[in-house]
Structure 1
Amino acid sequence: MKYVIIGRKANIGKNVQIGNFSTIENDVIIGDNTWIGNNVTILNGCRIGSNCQVYSGAVLAGIPQDLKYKGEYTLLEIGNYNIIREFVTINRGTASKQKTVVGDHNLIMSNAHIGHDCSIGNNCIIGNNCIIGFSVGMAGEVRVEDYVNISGLSVIHQFSVIGRHSMISGMSRIVKDIPPFIMAAREPLSYVGLNVIGLKRSSFSIDKIEELKDIYRVIFQEKRNTSLALKLIENEFKQTMERDLILEFIRESKRGIVKGLFS
């Protein structure tokens, strides 16, 4: 016999398995073929897609850890094919964005925390004990783009943006934006090269990787200020989707980007 508490109004899809001592409140939707382990707590405002796995001790759609939150109706939206490991906590949104969002095909490892109003893209790996959206008294509103790998014990300051296909080394303190396609490491966190292994796994060609290396050499390794470097890239590099993504990311950065190792 299983001991599970499920709200009468919860919308549970087909072939959903729920473990012992789990609690699912009324305002919850769970898609088909999702597996919920033992001792999982899924609170009001949670939307989970199909084919997900949620392991023991996870708490989803908890009240935001934000002193400005006044009980407004908000959501946590989790896509399809996500793996959420033991003791992960993901808070729902606040009035700021109304929801916290996790895309598809993500692996969120044990004890990670994702704060209110954060946005996680697709195909990301969030390492053990990572804290996404930290601050004093409040947390959240971090944007993590697609194919990002954040290694364990890293902490990301609220409002930071992590560009697609980037990798962050373990135990990192992220207080600046991380441009796409790069690897960031050391203390203070710095550009240490391209995320070459990740790019190859995502089928980037050798020529494309060399193009990205040349672009970031102008940004991080040559003695120019950022504005001048961006103008040089725009004028001297062939227009490609990746070039334009980098230019747009850096120009739109509100926190500023990480520095080069020898800046």
Structure 2
Amino acid sequence: MLIHPQFDPIAIAIGPLKVHWYGLTYLAAFSLFYLLATARAAKPPFVDRGWTRQMVEDLLFFGVLGVVLGGRLGYVLFYKPSYYLSHPAEIAALWQGGMAFHGGLLGVISAMLLYAWRQKRPFFEIADLVAPCVPIGLAAGRIGNFINGELWGRAADPSLPWAMVFPQSGSMEPRHPSQLYQFGMEGVLLFVLLWWYARKPRQQGAVAAAFMFGYGCFRFIAEYFREPDSFLGLLALNMSMGQWLCVPMIVLGALFWVMAKKDAFRSRDRKA
């Protein structure tokens, strides 16, 4: 079995300035989003609707705020509400770690709603532009988790060729490298599928709905291999918090996709 390489979490140190690998993966995620979204904005149907590089840059600014604020508040509210209720001063202590994807998703949705209102554009037009550009950034984030040796997997059969020991877990028990599973499924694979699906014009809202459904399904599966948070454990029906948070994503994703296929969102835009 393998042993986690125990990477130094600090990528660059210049005097008191320290740049962490995890921060660099966030930078990579935002950079990849910008490149991909710019490429999508330059093609139909978005270029026909007046999308420009400047608009993508503005959208990215809103999105970064949504990811950071939403991810942090999501972790506070979904995972440790009682702790942060007793230690409110630590809510803003991002350097201590603690971000939640589902909170970040809600933050990004809020940011897109604000951007849609300011630009007077349909929300699902913006969501369809954004959705295929997100998974590859999520993949970068999972690489950051792996480098940090965090969010390790559940116990694995020692005969599994890629079973890995994470000394950070406090034991020498072989585990699933669940960060890499998530990198592959909700990152690379979801990106390939969504980019392929979005290569042709679709009904408004269909691509965004496919992202919600696809991410929810892949994350739900990956959670079976990821060690639940020690302070939560497994919840009802032996499901983790991550799985329970994926259920509404899967249901809403499927519902929105059906509605999009009926052109429901475009019809509402015309009425507006």
Indicate whether the TM-score tops 0.5.
no
Which protein is richer in strand relative to its size?
1
Q: Which has the higher contact order (CA 8 A, sep 6+)?
A: 2
Tell me the TM-score normalised to structure 1 length: 0.29
Tell me the TM-score normalised to structure 2 length: 0.28
Which protein is richer in helix relative to its size?
2
